[in-house]
Amino acid sequence: MQSQLTYDALADVYDLMYPPRSPDIDAAVDFLAALAPATGRVLELGVGNGRIALPLSRRGLTVHGIDGSAHMLARLRERDPGGSVVVHEGDFTATTTGERYDVVLIALNTFFAPTSSDAQVECMRRMREQLAPGGRVVVEAFDPLPFHRQEGERTSTRYLSPQSVMVDSTHVMRDRQLLLVIHTVVDGSTPRPTQEVIRYAWPSEIDLMARLAGLRLVDRFAGWRREPYGPESQRHVSVYEAVEGA
């Protein structure tokens, strides 16, 4: 299952957490557009409010997105009144569009939203099913090591705006590779705690899931600017292709 309730609750502040206009978004769009033909087709799983999908559509690509959060999709429709991004509401581990795409994308740790390894394998299978011949699957995720080493609860604060901050409290269940995060927005009104549970996976584990789904690793980078991936990398952008006959 996706963390649908979490993203519903965070829809009002998601743009503050992850600004839609940033150099990182520009780099992601450049990276993804380079993998598709000039008028190609892109599918984003966990499309959310369209932070990546909308600028991709402005590149002349046909962009579809699947998401389980009605509130996040409502934000996307507000930003995209012309419907340049075709949206499908549903659980992306089970829902498909019935179409094929040159690039199938899952970004910003969304691959970790399904909270079991079985569901994550099903997510990979759905991506493989919707991949056009010669297409690429792209997964962006964090490296779990800093969280896996964590002892006890950890609390951090992130700036949202001059009037608000978000307090994040994290707890790790290493035996199940689960990360529990309580997000609390502090802005002078009644605090709004929201619970998020994700299942993190190691890059080698994601590669195995990909192989089970009929995919194989082509490239891995430390970010959207194609930085070399190595032992100290905190994130990875991994690119997969279909295995013929799988």
Does 4-143+201-242 carry CATH code 3.20.20.10? no
Q: Model confidence over 116-160: pLDDT tens digits?
A: 999 999 999 999 999 999 999 999 999 999 999 998 899 999 998
User: How does the average pLDDT of the chain come out, rounded?
Assistant: 92
pLDDT band at 22 (very low <50, low <70, confident <90, very high): confident
> Can you give the residue ranges of every domain in the chain?
4-143+201-242, 146-198
DSSP 104: E
CATH class of 146-198: mainly beta
Please say if the pLDDT value at position 17 is more than 80.
no
Is 136 in contact with 103 (CB distance < 8 Å)? yes
DSSP one-letter string for 197-244: EEE---HHHHHHHHHHTTEEEEEEESSTT-PBP-TT-SEEEEEEEEPT
Please say if the pLDDT value at position 186 is more than 50.
yes
Q: Model confidence over 193-205: pLDDT tens digits?
A: 888 899 999 999 9
Distance between CA 130 and CA 53 in Å, rounded?
17
